[in-house]
Amino acid sequence: MTVETRRVARSWNRYRTRALLGQWLVHGLLILIGLACLIPMLLVISISLSSEGALVKEGYKLWPVGFSTAAYDYILQQPGQMLRAYGVTGFVTIVGTGVGLLLSSMLAWPLARKDFRLRGALSFYVFFTLLFSGGMVPFYILVTRYLGLKDNILALILPYLVTAWYVLILRTSFAQLPTELLDAARIDGAGEWRIFFRIVLPLSKPVLATIGLFFVLRFWNDWFLALLFINKAVLYPLQYLLYVLMRNITFLASNPQTTGMPIPTQSARMALAVLAFGPALFSFLLLQKYFVRGITIGGLKG
Partner 1 sequence: MQARNTKSPAAKPDFMARLMGSQRSWDTNLNLFLMALPGILLLLVFAYLPMLGLVIAFKDYRFAEGIFGSAWVGFENFRFLFGTDTAFRITRNTLGMNSIFIVTTTVGALAVAMLMNEVYKSRMSKYYQTMLFFPYFISWVIASYFVFAFLNGDGGIANQVIERLGGDPPSWYRSPQYWPLILTLAHIWNSIGFSSIVYLAGMLGISPELFEAAKIDGASKLQQIRYITLPLLYPLIIILVLLAIGRIFNADFGLFFFVPRDTAMLYSTTDVIDTFVYRSLVQLGNISMAAAAGFYQSTVGFVLVIAANWVVRKINQDYSLF
Site for partner 1 in 11-70 (CB under 8 A): 22-23, 26-27, 29-31, 33-38, 40-41, 43-44, 47, 55-56, 58-60, 62
Per CB under 8 A, does 76 bind partner 1? no
Q: Compute the distance between CA of residue 9 and CA of residue 83 in angstroms, rounded to an integer.
A: 68
By C-alpha distance, which of 136, 278, 140, 167 is closest to 220?
278
Per CB under 8 A, does 154 bind partner 1? no
Q: Compute the distance between CA of residue 260 and CA of residue 255 in angstroms, rounded to an integer.
A: 9
Site for partner 1 in 221-250 (CB under 8 A): 221-224, 227-228, 239-240, 242-243, 246-247
Per CB under 8 A, does 86 bind partner 1? no
Of residues 11 and 259, the one with the C-beta less far from partner 1: 11
Coil, strand or helix: which one is 1?
A: coil
Of residues 164 and 203, the one with the C-beta less far from partner 1: 164
Contact with partner 1 (CB under 8 A) among 8, 76, 142, 184: 142
Q: Compute the distance between CA of residue 191 and CA of residue 228 in angstroms, rounded to an integer.
A: 43
Site for partner 1 in 194-223 (CB under 8 A): 196, 217, 221-223
Q: Compute the distance between CA of residue 41 and CA of residue 91 in angstroms, rounded to an integer.
A: 26
State the number of binding residues for partner 1 (CB under 8 A).
99
By C-alpha distance, which of 254, 231, 203, 200 is closest to 81?
254
Contact with partner 1 (CB under 8 A) among 21, 83, 94, 130: 130
Per CB under 8 A, does 101 bind partner 1? no
Distances (CA, A) of 113 to 179, 192, 273, 291, 294: 10, 11, 45, 26, 22
